[in-house]
Chains A and B, each alone.
Chain A
Amino acid sequence: GAVVSQHPSRVICKSGTSVKIECRSLDFQATTMFWYRQFPKQSLMLMATSNEGSKATYEQGVEKDKFLINHASLTLSTLTVTSAHPEDSSFYICSAIAMNTEAFFGQGTRLTVV
């Protein structure tokens, strides 16, 4: 079946630094990928829609200059959390739709900013 690979699975960084998270569709092309954030005991919240070859579409309240999204190819989208702060600590998950059927999720990245 379709696989979405997300890397890294866990990262700890210092406050003020930037962290890049990669999301790859391994056996299918994804013109659109989605980035979610999940705080403890909360639901997944859509942050942005990543479109190959064009700018990402951000949800209301999500700072586009802080959460940089690059969808450089049909199989890779990256999310960069810039100038990370402790309140950015969360579980970040990407997903992609395979052949307009099911949404597949990456394994998630647990970000801890200290």
Chain B
Amino acid sequence: RKEVEQDPGPFNVPEGATVAFNCTYSNSASQSFFWYRQDCRKEPKLLMSVYSSGNEDGRFTAQLNRASQYISLLIRDSKLSDSATYLCVVNPNSGYSTLTFGKGTMLLVSP
């Protein structure tokens, strides 16, 4: 089982749609979880951290299920500018010593 697995993409959705990304991780001792966004040929940028209680930032909602080792990202009311690759990122340690990246799921929002 890969360390961090994400839905294969791409996801093609119309503007205004709701889209959900799923991610599973293999290391049950993992401590921190994140969603990063990467635009084509650019560096990844933090979208949001994922907390055990779940967290929401505008149109974006992240959920964590430690028992199932599962993370999700929900995007509501998709915008054209949301088109990017979304990376599920896991830190297996208590500090920030390493980050393990999923392969990423590409989202394409069309008019």
Contacts and interface: CB of A to CB of B under 8 A. Distances in A.
B20 interface: no
Query: Which of A43, A46, A91, A95: most chain B CB closer than 10 A?
Result: A43
Nearest to B89: A103
Given A43-B87, A102-B46, A103-B46, A49 B41 contact: no
Interface residues of B, number: 18
A92 to B, nearest CB: 11
Secondary structure type dominating chain A contacts: strand
Contacts of B100: 46
A108 B95 contact: no
A91 B41 contact: yes
Given A36-B101, A105-B43, A106-B43, 9 more contacts: A34-B98, A34-B99, A42-B103, A46-B100, A100-B95, A102-B46, A105-B44, A108-B41, A108-B43
Contact of B102 (A36, A43, A108): A43
